[in-house]
Amino acid sequence: MKQILIMLVGLFITTVPSFARDKDEDMYNYELESAVGNFSLQAGWNVAKVWSYGKREFLTKENAMRNAVHGIIFKGYPGYGGNTGVKALCPEGYEQHREFFDEFFGSGKYRQFVQLSNNGLLTADDVIKYDKKRYKVGMIVMVNTAALRAYLEQNNISKGLDFLFRDN
């Protein structure tokens, strides 16, 4: 009886942290690349393909949109074909403005700067199973980079380029 109890406690200790770790790992596990194709966009918008990694239940349209905004803010992505790339809007990273970004992503404010280009419909090439429980899912998103940049500047998160043109 004592051995069974010890085994159950050991099993509980090893599995509970892994559930939390899996959720956190899947939250921002992604790649951004320049989307290739003919896109008609308004000025200030960029098109990217975001590849999200994780368990099937975490690979939603919402996660793709959050990952795209997160990537444009912190990583940027290179251009390809006729699509220009984007430099990171806040290259100094998350740590300096932790409270702002926790609230920005936690409350869903990022949604006003992004939309799915094909309403989240996936083709066979957009879903790749790479081990027993993990998937790689690609979605094309449009991000209003100009509005996002202005929002970050307004909240003193990133510095605007207008200081170059001021007479001081």
* pLDDT tens track for 117-127: 877 677 778 88
Give Cα 4 to chain centroid, integer Å.
43
- In the predicted model, is pLDDT for residue 146 greater than 90? yes
pLDDT score for 126: 84
Question: Per residue in 52-99, pLDDT tens?
Answer: 888 876 678 888 999 999 999 999 988 776 667 788 999 888 888 999
For residue 37 the two structure tokens come to 């194709």
- In the predicted model, is pLDDT for residue 144 greater than 50? yes
pLDDT score for 1: 62
Name the packing angle between helices 61-74 and 145-154 (round to 10°).
60
pLDDT score for 153: 93
Nearest to 30 by CA among 145, 139, 160: 139
Q: What is the mean pLDDT of residues 131-141?
A: 87
Question: Per residue in 8-37, pLDDT tens?
Answer: 444 444 444 444 434 445 567 898 988 866
pLDDT score for 81: 67
Residue 154 confidence class, pLDDT cut points 50, 70, 90: very high
Task: Give the torsion sign (CA, 17, 23, 25, 28).
Answer: negative
The torsion angles phi and psi of 153, rounded to 5 degrees, stand at -65, -40
